[in-house]
């Protein structure tokens, strides 16, 4: 490849790479739909995965399958489940890693609140069956529910029963799914209808595309490097020019990668983490809590009457308050704690290895610091705080408890700290 060809090749390769990345991000969608009818391979589960005996009545209809279930408060908890077979006996199954979410279209009627368990059964080989599950909190009536594949997990009781370690979903192939009534043992009558199941994802996963593009770029750069090396013998000055071009390309790719990672995890105004930036941190905290009971707390707070500041003094003043407050809080928290802008004027502090009492003390200290510090030359700034300690493996419930405590603080007059029960 001569100099003129390289001058064309790399811009074209860059445009192709950019086009593929945008196409993967904005399109490249694929969907696998299962619409229920009278011929669908759906059945009543009489032997549940946890060893209980299933009950209930299953009715197949033209566009749905309906499970009728009566739950009585007995010594042996009752449960009802329906099972949808996705592949024929001689087929390998649906590769779980090819999809990002599962959407269920359900109708739910119950005389008492209850959850629904989605159980996905997969096979890694011909002999071993594995179970992944996630709970749903259904509404009365018909609605669609989307479950992220990444949120599916292997329950510990299944691992204990099978005597195996947790398996990766990478090579898992789905053979059938099951919908199971939840953990509420209160007497109730349930009518659960499944209308359709849809698996959604990308034809090409982002990591696979990036790996392929990286390989192409590495091969291209390597080839160019050897071309330049061979040219050294013929023209030393020309080879130096080629090497400089390669260094520029490598530097550009490194900067672009670093900038992309920084922008994806950082709030551009305050330089705090954003929600995506906390995802891996929350994952580590939940794992530590599940394995060894390691405590952790979150402090959720927002600026009192922030809309009034924007309306009276302008958005520039509002942005100034946000930046000043973020800098103040960043100076007050410990080195092992994390500050994120949770949205708008709302911030969240992750207090690792901290009980509720310690997090409340930090929140009170922050409240006083905000109140006593001049964050705006136009008005006095105060904040309301909600504090919650982790008590389960469900991140959404943890954040919801802190949000409810924050709501109580605002309803109680603002500029105060309320701990979640």
pLDDT the model gives residue 130: 84
Identify whether the C-beta of residue 52 lies closer than 8 Å to the C-beta of residue 77: yes
Three-state DSSP state, 189:
strand
Pairing between strand 383-389 and 417-419?
A: parallel
Catalytic residue list: 345
Please report the DSSP string for 61-95 in residue order: -SS-EEEEEEE---SS---BEEEEE-S-TTS--EE
Q: What are the helix and strand counts (H, E) for the chain?
A: 9, 17
Nearest CA to 112 among 183, 58, 179? 183
Does the predicted TM-score (pTM) go above 0.75? no
Burial 169-194 (b: 16+ CB within 10 A, else e): beebbbbbbbbbbbebeeebebebbb
Q: What are the Cα distances from residue 74, in Å, to 50, 78, 209?
A: 17, 7, 53
CB 81 within 8 A of CB 48: yes
- Please tell me the distance from the alpha carbon of residue 345 to that of residue 323, in angstroms, as a whole number: 10
Supply the pLDDT for residue 75. 59
Q: Quickly count: other Cβ atoms within 10 Å of residue 419's Cβ.
A: 21
Question: What span, in angstroms and rounded, lies between the C-alpha atoms of 167 and 162?
Answer: 12
Per-residue pLDDT tens listing for the chain (421 residues):
667 777 788 888 888 988 888 887 888 888 888 888 878 888 888 888 877 778 889 988 888 889 998 887 665 667 889 988 888 766 677 888 888 899 999 999 999 888 999 988 887 665 667 888 999 999 999 999 999 988 888 888 787 777 665 556 666 788 888 998 887 878 889 999 999 999 998 888 778 888 888 999 898 888 878 877 777 777 777 767 876 777 776 767 566 676 677 778 999 999 999 999 999 999 999 999 999 999 999 999 999 999 999 999 999 999 999 999 999 999 999 999 999 999 999 999 999 999 999 999 999 999 999 999 999 999 999 999 999 999 998 999 999 999 999 999 999 999 999 999 8
Q: What integer pLDDT is reported at residue 227 of this predicted model?
A: 77
Give the pLDDT confidence score for residue 255 in this predicted structure. Answer: 62
Three-class secondary structure of residue 57 per DSSP? strand
Q: How far is CA 202 from CA 98, 99, 176, 209, in A?
A: 7, 7, 21, 11
Structure tokens, 304: 């009192």
Q: Phi and psi of 315, rounded to 5°?
A: -70, -25
d(CA 381, CA 304): 7
pLDDT at 269: 94
Ordered structural domains, the chain, with CATH:
3-27+205-265 (no CATH), 29-202 (2.60.120.260), 275-419 (3.30.70.270)
Instruction: Give the pLDDT score at 157.
Output: 79
DSSP code for 269: T
């Amino acid at each position: 490849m001569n100099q003129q060809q390289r001058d064309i090749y790399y811009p074209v390769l860059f445009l192709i790479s950019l086009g593929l990345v945008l196409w993967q991000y904005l399109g490249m969608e694929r969907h696998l739909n299962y619409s229920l009818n009278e011929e669908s391979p759906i059945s009543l589960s009489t032997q549940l995965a946890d060893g209980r005996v299933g009950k209930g009545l299953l009715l197949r209809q033209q566009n749905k399958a309906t499970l009728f279930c009566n739950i009585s408060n007995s010594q042996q908890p009752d449960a009802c489940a329906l099972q949808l077979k996705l592949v024929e006996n001689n087929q390998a199954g649906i590769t779980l890693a090819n999809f990002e979410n599962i959407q269920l279209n359900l109708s739910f009627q119950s005389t008492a609140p209850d959850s629904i368990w989605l159980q996905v059964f997969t096979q890694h080989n011909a002999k071993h069956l594995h179970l992944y599950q996630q709970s749903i909190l259904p509404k009365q009536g018909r609605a669609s529910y989307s479950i992220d594949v990444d949120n599916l997990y292997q329950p510990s009781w299944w691992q204990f029963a099978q005597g195996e370690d947790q398996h990766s979903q990478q090579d898992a192939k789905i053979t059938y799914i099951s919908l199971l009534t939840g953990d509420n043992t209160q007497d109730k009558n349930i009518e659960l209808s499944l209308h359709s199941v849809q698996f959604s994802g990308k034809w090409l996963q982002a990591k696979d595309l990036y790996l392929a593009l990286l390989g192409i770029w590495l091969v291209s750069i390597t080839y160019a490097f050897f071309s330049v090396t061979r040219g050294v013998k013929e023209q030393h000055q020309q080879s130096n020019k080629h090497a400089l071009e390669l260094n520029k390309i490598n530097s550009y790719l490194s900067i672009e990668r670093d900038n992309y990672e920084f922008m994806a995890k950082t709030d551009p105004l305050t330089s705090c983490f954003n929600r995506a930036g906390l995802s891996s941190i929350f994952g580590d905290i939940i794992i530590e809590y599940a394995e060894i009971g390691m405590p952790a707390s979150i402090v959720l707070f927002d600026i009192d009457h922030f809309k009034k500041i924007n309306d009276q003094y302008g958005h520039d003043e509002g942005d100034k308050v946000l930046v000043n407050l973020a800098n103040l809080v960043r100076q007050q928290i410990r080195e092992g704690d994390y500050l994120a802008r949770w949205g708008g004027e709302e911030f969240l502090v992750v207090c690792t290895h901290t009980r509720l009492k310690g997090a409340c003390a930090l929140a009170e200290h922050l409240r006083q610091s905000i109140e006593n510090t001049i964050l705006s030359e136009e008005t006095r700034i105060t904040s309301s705080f909600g504090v919650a300690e982790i008590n389960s493996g469900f991140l959404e419930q943890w954040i919801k408890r802190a949000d409810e405590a924050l709501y109580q603080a605002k309803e109680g007059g603002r500029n105060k700290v309320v701990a979640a029960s």
